[in-house]
Structure 1
Amino acid sequence: MTQKVRQIIIHGVTEEGGRFRPSDWAERLAGVMASFRPPGAAGNHLTYSPYVVPVLLEGERCVVVDERLRELEPLAWKFVLDFARDNRLKTSERQA
């Protein structure tokens, strides 16, 4: 049986309903977090971390943040959540 993982989705829309800019914000945020990987996982600078992934959901740029990042690197988890809060971005949760 596969355990479900909690994910936080950071939406590219502000709490006031405006579109967040710049348009490549999701890729930039995921790029900054690219070095955070599962222990022993190979990685290079050309791939995103499996814990912070830019996605397009229903036509909206978003970043999906895997809650396992909290255990791996608490400061990285705090950084992405603070980014969302500081920029007043909408967030939601899901199980994957």
Structure 2
Amino acid sequence: MDDASANAPFIIRGITTGGARFRPSDWADRLAGAFAVIDPNNRTNYSPYVQPTTLDGVPCVVVDKRLKDADANAYRFLQTFARSNELQTENAD
């Protein structure tokens, strides 16, 4: 693995390996929300390691690979989630 791919985020796409859209439509917010905190003003503050986003119109979760060092179990959980739901991934070493 080169330095660029080592630093590239692990991305979980809301498309299955068979090409179907993953449901529910807010799955990325829900998954990232499991790693978020709620502030005193009742706002969700997502972890800097696990962020929901939309790429090319597809809900995704972007995982900073530094999570692997910060919380290896959380990183493995996200890899397992993607694998068990047959979701497309990028940089999922």
What band does the TM-score fall into relative to the shorter chain?
0.7 to 0.9
Q: CA deviation at 1:75?
A: 0.4
Distance in 1 separating the partners of 2:22 and 2:54:
14
Q: 1:71 & 1:92 partners in 2: Cα distance?
A: 19
The share of aligned pairs that are identical, in percent, is: 49
Q: Which amino acid aligns with 2:47?
A: S
The separation in 2 between residues aligned to 1:83 and 1:31, in whole angstroms, is 14
Report Cα offsets for 1:21-67 as digits up to 9, x if no partner.
000000000000125xxxxxxx8462100110001101111000000
Please name the residue that 1:83 is paired with.
81
Paired with 1:71 and 1:59, the residues of 2 have a C-alpha distance of 30
Alignment of 1:1-96 (within 5 A): 5-34=7-36, 44=39, 46-93=44-91
**TM-score scaled to structure 1, two decimals?**
0.80
| Greater RCO (Cα-Cα under 8 Å, separation 6 or more) | 1
Q: Runs of at least 4 residues of structure 1 off by over 2 A?
A: 3-6
Structure that is richer in helix per residue: 2
CA distance in 2, matches of 1:51, 1:81: 14
Q: Provide the aligned C-alpha RMSD in A.
A: 1.9
Contiguous gaps of at least 5 residues in structure 2: none
Q: TM-score under structure 2 normalisation?
A: 0.83
Letter in 1 for 2:21: R
Counterpart residue number, 1:39: none
Q: How many residues align?
A: 84
